[in-house]
Amino acid sequence: MKGTRDLLPAETGLWQRVEDEARRILGAYNFREIRTPILEQTALFARSVGADTDIVTKEMYTFEDRTSESLTLRPEATASVVRAYIEHNLFNEGGIHKLYYIGPMFRRERPQKGRYRQFYQIGAEVLGSDHPTIDAEFLEMLVLFLGRLGLREYNLLLNSVGCPKCRAEYLKVLRQALDKVKDKMCGDCQRRAATNPLRVLDCKVETDQPIIESLPHTLDHLCPECRQHFDRVTGELQQRGIPYQIAPRLVRGLDYYTRTTFEMTSNVLGAQNAFLGGGRYDGLSEMLGGPPTPGFGVAIGEDRLILAVEQTASLKPDDRLDIYVAWMGEGALHPASQLARELRRDGLSVEIGYEPMKLKKSLGIASRLGARFTVIIGEGELTAGRFQVKDMSTGQQEEIEPARVAAVVKEKLQKG
Ligand code: AMP
pLDDT in tens, 8-31: 999 999 999 999 999 999 999 999
From the CA of 274, give the closest atom in ligand 1.
10
Minimum CA distance residue for ligand 1 atom 4? 277
Overall size of the chain counted in residues = 416
Whether pTM exceeds 0.75? yes
What is the rounded distance in angstroms from the CA atom of residue 312 to the CA atom of residue 300?
17
How many angstroms separate the alpha carbon of residue 241 from the centre of ligand 1? 27
- The residue nearest atom 17 of ligand 1, judged by CA position, is 115
- High-pLDDT (> 90) share of the chain, %: 88
- What distance in angstroms lies between residue 276's CA and the mean position of ligand 1's atoms? 7
Atom of ligand 1 nearest to the CA of 75: 2
Q: Choose which residue among 112, 264, 273, 276 to substitute to test ligand 1 binding: the one with the highest number of ligand atoms within 8 A of its C-beta.
A: 276
40 lines ligand 1 (CB under 6 A): no
Compute the C-alpha angle 331/335/336, nearest 5°.
Answer: 95
User: What is the tens place of the pLDDT at every residue in 85-138?
Assistant: 999 999 999 899 999 999 999 999 999 999 999 999 999 999 999 999 999 999
User: 76: Cβ below 6 Å to ligand 1?
Assistant: yes
Q: What's the pLDDT score for residue 104?
A: 98
With a 6 Å cutoff on the Cβ, whether 382 touches ligand 1 is no
Residues pairing with 298 in the sheet: 124, 278
CATH number of 9-163+223-312, picked from 3.40.50.1950, 3.90.930.12, 2.40.170.20, 3.30.930.10: 3.30.930.10
d(CA 236, CA 230): 10
Find the 107 Cα to ligand 1 centroid distance in Å.
9
pLDDT tens profile 365-408: 999 999 999 999 999 999 999 999 999 999 999 999 999 999 99
| Cα 91 to averaged position of ligand 1 atoms, centre (Å) | 28
Cα 174 to ligand 1 centre (Å): 27
Nearest CA to ligand 1 atom 13: 301
Cα 364 to chain centroid, rounded: 38
Best CATH choice for the domain 323-415 from the list 3.40.718.10, 3.40.50.800, 2.60.120.10, 3.40.50.920: 3.40.50.800
Q: Whose CA is nearest to atom 3 of ligand 1?
A: 253
CA distance 86 to 81: 9
Question: Can you give the pLDDT at residue 196?
Answer: 87
Q: Ligand 1 center to residue 257 CA distance, Å?
A: 16
Give the residue from 106, 97, 91 showing the smallest Cα distance to 3.
106
Closest atom of ligand 1 to 278 CA is 4
Check if 74 has its Cβ closer than 6 Å to any atom of ligand 1: no
Domain boundaries, the chain: 9-163+223-312, 323-415
Q: Whose CA is nearest to atom 20 of ligand 1?
A: 115
Give yes or no on whether 9-163+223-312 and 323-415 have one common fold.
no
Instruction: Kindly tell me if the per-residue pLDDT of 416 is higher than 80.
Output: no
Looking at residue 52, what is its pLDDT? 78
pLDDT in tens, 185-206: 999 899 889 888 988 998 888 8
Which residue, by CA, sits nearest to atom 10 of ligand 1?
276
